[in-house]
A and B are shown apart, each in its own frame.
Chain A
Amino acid sequence: MRLIIRDDAAAVGEYIGNYICKRINEFAPTPEKPFVLGLPTGSSPIPTYKVLIRLVKEGKLSFKNVVTFNMDEYVGLPRDHPESYHTFMFREFFSHIDIPPTQVNILNGNAQDLITECNSYEARIKKYGGIELFLGGIGEDGHIAFNEPGSSLSSRTRIKTLAYDTILANARFFNNDISAVPRMALTVGVGTVLDSREVVVVVTGQRKALALSKAIEEGVNHLWTLSALQLHKWALIVVDEDATAELHVKTVKYFKSIERVQDEVEAMHEALRAKGIPDNEHNIGSMD
């Protein structure tokens, strides 16, 4: 696992936005072989979306051959409701980029048969050959998607009852009316996230500091579902300084130092390539 630490949320967004751009462009997606991207909602990914939108407007990135799968959606909330994740994704991201609507997948929380909806979502992901990169955020209790504490770490897409804490936290989006907050959501499972080839998680703000510490400094534990990421081969967590408040100084220093060393290694190989000396990319060390 890599941990990248940046000064603030904007710098985190800048890092992840550029990283995803690089990944998509290196993947060179085509209509036959699209880049499959998993996406979250919430306040944490907004700076990242802003950077991606800018890159699209600058012509450096296109979503023409990108297929997206969103993590979750409330049950029973109208699609047009200002707090639905459909609305969020359209407002914050999809309306500003060039993605064809047919390539956007969001769970339908108003489906007649919610179980069938979940199963067919998994099947659709499979049909595309799995998710290439899943971008995620976490809750204060360390949940990834709506996989609240206690969720099975091998869970798949399913109906989930929300934790009371999550309902309280989300009430601010519903005029502070707790009764208006949906009680259930459809969400991809921890297993669904772990199945993707790469996972990138954004963690910003002091309120998420404890969850970050629990997820990376202690053992794998279903009470902090993000900790399951420790089992993933290719995981990247990008955080701001505030989110490191609960980490050991040693942990912070370790990850900062390894990022520096990695930069040196990559610069060296870059220099070799510039001189025309053949270089095997696979010889570059990895931080994972």
Chain B
Amino acid sequence: MTSPNGLICFTNCLLPLEDGSLVQRDLWIDERRGVILDAQRTFFLRKQRPERIIDLEGNILSPGLIDIQINGAYGFDFSVYDGDDEAYRSGLKTVAERIVETGVTSLVPTIITQEKTLYPKILNLLRPYTPPSSANLLGWHAEGPFIQLAKRGAHAPPFIIPAPEGLKSFENVYGPENLSVTEDWLMAGGGEGRVGVRMITAAPEIEGVMDSVEELSRRGVVCSIGHSIATTDIATTAVLSGARLITHLFNAMPQLHHRDPSIIGLIGASPHASAFTPITSPVSSSVTHNFFPHKAPIASTNSTPPSHTPSHSHTSSSLVKLTTGGKATSEAFDDHETPPQTPMLTKSSNAFSAEKLALKLSSKGPRGELHLEKGRVADMAFERPFYELIVDGIHSHPNSIRLAYGAYPEGCILITDAMKILDPNLRDGVHEWRDGKRFVKEGDKLYLEGTTTLAGSVVTLGKCVRNFSKFTGCSLGEAIKCATYNPAKCLGIENKKGTLRSEADADLVVLDRKGNVVSTWVGAKEVWRRDRV
């Protein structure tokens, strides 16, 4: 059903605003242009009002959910390309068509570490694409290969590499055409005004990564810190260089150590620490001798103690050498292969990064003045990065979720990090996986058959929103913001996606007051609707 004059008014609904509040207000959209309208201008200037009115019966009309980290769904794995472009495209299409039932209207397909010659091809196939009546595929998120072996999760060790030539190494792996400045890249992808994003998760302590972050960011690539053991100084330097996101916070990174809070500490970055020359953490030197201080069973038995070379490289000279292959675990989980405790970088390498950080900070001008204004926080030398949270109740404890959100609500982004098994219609029980392995699905939990090894996330983003509201105690509107406006802002597309601003794309999801998806709209067209019970 279309509107005679092409305008639709949603009424009797709650709109989540960008400040996290929910307000009772109508929303007008334009079916023909597929955008949200400035209702007042339409009324007074265009002298039109919608001829189709949809009563949402008190439900919530939210911007469509945005998943910026998802490995696959409905049986298709974004990371599996066997040379058949058509098969790959058809897999993408299936995911885009079906994922709308989970309330997602935009996603950034994420590929885990690949054999490096595959990247140019896959990234090219992952240019922005919106099949009819489907979610928008916004571009790509390359997680790896420039990551930390010690925090690799399910990434295949042989493919994990450093970037000795800096940006050139990045171009060699991803393909220079895929890393061109945003305009060129979007132009090549076709479609005017189309939203397109590129994301790279890398470990800044890996050789060549830190020096590339600034240029990658300048070219419009969102650099995310992840699968890393960066110290506080290194992580801070990365943010000052342009990194604006942390990949699945808490997972695949050192756990919070109060003397060197590392990557997690960035969400609590202090104005004080950002104003003074940082002190090299004493933790580094003291811990290096006791590399795996806890006695938990570790897959790697041939670890060598780190030597004190000033290298950032991940190679065995400075870090533990881990066994290759083996267990199939969650992309983000690493607890079975590497200790939750932090393997620390050597003291000398940390001192080196402290110098860099001091240099970066000194260019930001003097700070640290005391002030008398209650409620105001002193100026920071840098914005704290956004951070992703997998809110399936498994990858992070609800307490951890609340801790992070309390520290920096504006930076919080909900992701699924889902595996290809994601399909809310899939029944619990035993299913085929790959390489003759089978898995057991129990709600949002996935186990390898016959084990208690978690095989990754299968939670939907809609469920993450509901979980998040429960875990943190925040309102549904605030939870929605973390799956709409915040990811859009991180990607720099908040004028078109994740918002109800006028002229934004009319990608919408109707949620009931319990956060369940009622219907989904993309480009002002209804693409999915829950059957009435």
Residues of A within 8 A of B (CB): 79-80, 86-87, 90-91, 94-96, 100-102, 104, 106
- CB proximity of B6 to chain A, nearest CB, Å: 15
A80 touches B48 (CB 8 A): no
Contact of B41 among A80, A100, A106 (CB under 8 A): A80
- CB proximity of A283 to chain B, nearest CB, Å: 43
Contact of B39 among A86, A95, A100, A104 (CB under 8 A): A95
B26 touches A101 (CB 8 A): no
- CB proximity of B14 to chain A, nearest CB, Å: 16
**Nearest A-chain residue to B9, judged by Cβ:** A95
Chain B at the A interface: SS class: loop
Please name all residues of chain A whose beta carbon is closer than 8 Å to the beta carbon of B40 when the two chains form the complex: 79-80, 86-87, 90-91, 95
B433, CB-defined interface residue at 8 Å: no
Closest 5 CB pairs of A and B: A101-B47, A90-B40, A101-B43, A102-B47, A101-B49
Complex: how many Å from CA A106 to CA B38?
A: 19
22 contacts between A and B (CB under 8 A): A79-B40, A79-B44, A80-B38, A80-B40, A80-B41, A87-B40, A90-B39, A90-B43, A90-B44, A91-B40, A94-B43, A95-B40, A95-B43, A100-B49, A101-B43, A101-B44, A101-B46, A101-B47, A101-B49, A102-B47, A104-B43, A106-B44
- CB proximity of B452 to chain A, nearest CB, Å: 56
Per-residue contact bits, chain B 19-49, to A (CB 8 Å; 1 contact, 0 not): 0000000100000000000111101101111
Question: B interface, how many residues as a size bin?
Answer: 10 to 19
Complex: how many Å from CA A91 to CA B41?
A: 12
Total contacts A to B, CB within 8 angstroms?
30
Most buried by B among A87, A100, A101: A101
Please name all residues of chain A whose beta carbon is closer than 8 Å to the beta carbon of B39 when the two chains form the complex: 90, 95
Per-residue contact bits, chain B 45-85, to A (CB 8 Å; 1 contact, 0 not): 01111000000000000000000000000000000000000
Complex: how many Å from CA A171 to CA B26?
A: 28
- CB proximity of A241 to chain B, nearest CB, Å: 30
**Nearest A-chain residue to B47, judged by Cβ:** A101
- CB proximity of B128 to chain A, nearest CB, Å: 32
- CB proximity of A206 to chain B, nearest CB, Å: 30
**Nearest A-chain residue to B38, judged by Cβ:** A80
Please name all residues of chain B whose beta carbon is closer than 8 Å to the beta carbon of A104 when the two chains form the complex: 43-44
Please name all residues of chain B whose beta carbon is closer than 8 Å to the beta carbon of A87 when the two chains form the complex: 40
Complex: how many Å from CA A90 to CA B28?
A: 13
**Nearest A-chain residue to B41, judged by Cβ:** A80
Please name all residues of chain B whose beta carbon is closer than 8 Å to the beta carbon of A102 when the two chains form the complex: 47
B48 touches A101 (CB 8 A): yes
B49 touches A86 (CB 8 A): no
**Nearest B-chain residue to A108, judged by Cβ:** B44
Per-residue contact bits, chain B 86-122, to A (CB 8 Å; 1 contact, 0 not): 0000000000000000000000000000000000000
Please name all residues of chain B whose beta carbon is closer than 8 Å to the beta carbon of A79 when the two chains form the complex: 40, 44
- CB proximity of A10 to chain B, nearest CB, Å: 18
Please name all residues of chain A whose beta carbon is closer than 8 Å to the beta carbon of B43 when the two chains form the complex: 90, 94-95, 101, 104
Complex: how many Å from CA A100 to CA B42?
A: 12
**Nearest A-chain residue to B43, judged by Cβ:** A101
Please name all residues of chain B whose beta carbon is closer than 8 Å to the beta carbon of A90 when the two chains form the complex: 39-40, 43-44
Please name all residues of chain A whose beta carbon is closer than 8 Å to the beta carbon of B48 when the two chains form the complex: 101
